[in-house]
Amino acid sequence: MTQPYAVTIIGYDLLKMNSVKTLLEKPSCEVLIDSSYGNLIPELPSSKYYLLLTDSTVDFTSYEQLLQRIKKQNCLNQLILLYRSCQTREISAAYRMGVKKFIEITNINELKLKLTEATDANEATDMISPDFYRLIADSGKKGNFHFDLNDKEQSIIHLIWEGYSNHEIADELCLSPRTIERHRSQILKKTRASNTVIMLKKALINGYISL
């Protein structure tokens, strides 16, 4: 029986992906490559972790579709997103989708250490580098204000943070999807946020959710 791969690297640039594979010094790595992200093999192989290499030059719609496919295959808990701090659009999309493991590509030694720690762990725990926390928190400090959420709104924002859809939240809280939509609109107004990512960022800064 074939052993599951320890790490599956997903991306578009074979040179970069093979560099990460070499960096990990793990023979049990598989590379999945596609020029557009859109034609990834239908089913991801069994793997302990999936490393997704982001790049701002790749078509954003295809990138979002890839995240959706990974989510549908229930692999988000094993997904680690490698990013650069300038890639705010790609980071926000993954963050909104429910990805909880992020490693900023800063320097080779630090990257190797973080990847080794992540992939050698006995279980797939949530892991966000301090760099990511600072990126989220620092970007919202200017003009930040305090707001109050009631118990129902706090429950909803926790489930949004966990990646639940409106229908899933409705089932969890025994409410209708329309009621959840109204609550979400109210939370957006209270946080003065224009979208879900900004809403979650402000909730994080104000202590309603935590990393």
Digit-by-digit pLDDT tens for the chain (211 residues) are: 345 677 787 877 777 788 878 877 777 778 876 655 445 556 777 777 888 887 766 777 778 888 888 888 888 878 888 877 667 677 777 877 878 777 777 766 777 777 676 666 544 344 555 555 555 555 555 555 678 899 999 999 988 887 788 888 999 999 999 999 999 999 999 988 877 777 887 888 788 887 6
Asked if residue 103 belongs to a domain, the reply is yes
Asked if residue 144 belongs to a domain, the reply is no
Asked if residue 189 belongs to a domain, the reply is yes
Asked if residue 130 belongs to a domain, the reply is yes
Q: pLDDT value at position 152?
A: 93
Residues 167 and 133 in one domain: no
Residues 192 and 166 in one domain: yes
Asked if residue 198 belongs to a domain, the reply is yes
Residues 11 and 45 in one domain: yes
CATH number, residue 118: 3.40.50.2300
- Residue pair 135/106 in contact (Cβ under 8 Å)? The answer is no
3-class state of residue 91 by DSSP: helix
Total of domains in the chain: 2
Residues 33 and 120 in one domain: yes
Residues 36 and 78 in one domain: yes
Q: Nearest Cα to 202, choosing from 149, 164, 145? A: 145
Instruction: Tell me the whole-structure pTM to 2 decimals.
Output: 0.56
Asked if residue 36 belongs to a domain, the reply is yes
Beta carbons within 8 Å of 14's beta carbon, 6+ residues apart: 31, 33
- Rounded Cα distance between 206 and 112, Å, is 33
Q: Which tokens hold the place of 168?
A: 């899933």
Residues 126 and 158 in one domain: no
- Rounded Cα distance between 171 and 59, Å, is 34
- Residue pair 54/63 in contact (Cβ under 8 Å)? The answer is yes
Q: pLDDT value at position 40?
A: 53
Residues 133 and 53 in one domain: yes
Pair type for strands 79-83 and 47-53: parallel
Domain termination site, one of 114, 139, 164: 139
Domain termination site, one of 91, 114, 139: 139
- Residue pair 100/126 in contact (Cβ under 8 Å)? The answer is yes
Q: How many CB atoms lie within 10 A of CB 68?
A: 12
Residues 123 and 79 in one domain: yes
Q: Which tokens hold the place of 163?
A: 């990646």
Conformational region of residue 169, where left means phi above 0, alpha means psi within -120 to 50, and beta covers everything else: alpha
Asked if residue 145 belongs to a domain, the reply is no
- Rounded Cα distance between 99 and 67, Å, is 9
Domain that holds residue 168: 151-205
What sign results for the dihedral spanned by CA atoms 16, 17, 19, 20?
A: positive
Asked if residue 81 belongs to a domain, the reply is yes
Residues 181 and 78 in one domain: no
If you search the block for the tokens 């959420």, which residue do you land on? Answer: 149
Q: Nearest Cα to 153, choosing from 128, 120, 129, 175? A: 175
What sign results for the dihedral spanned by CA atoms 124, 129, 134, 136?
A: negative
DSSP label of 4: P
Domain termination site, one of 139, 163, 186: 139
- Rounded Cα distance between 9 and 39, Å, is 15
Residues 20 and 94 in one domain: yes
Residues 32 and 67 in one domain: yes
Q: Which tokens hold the place of 137?
A: 């928190």
Residues 107 and 76 in one domain: yes
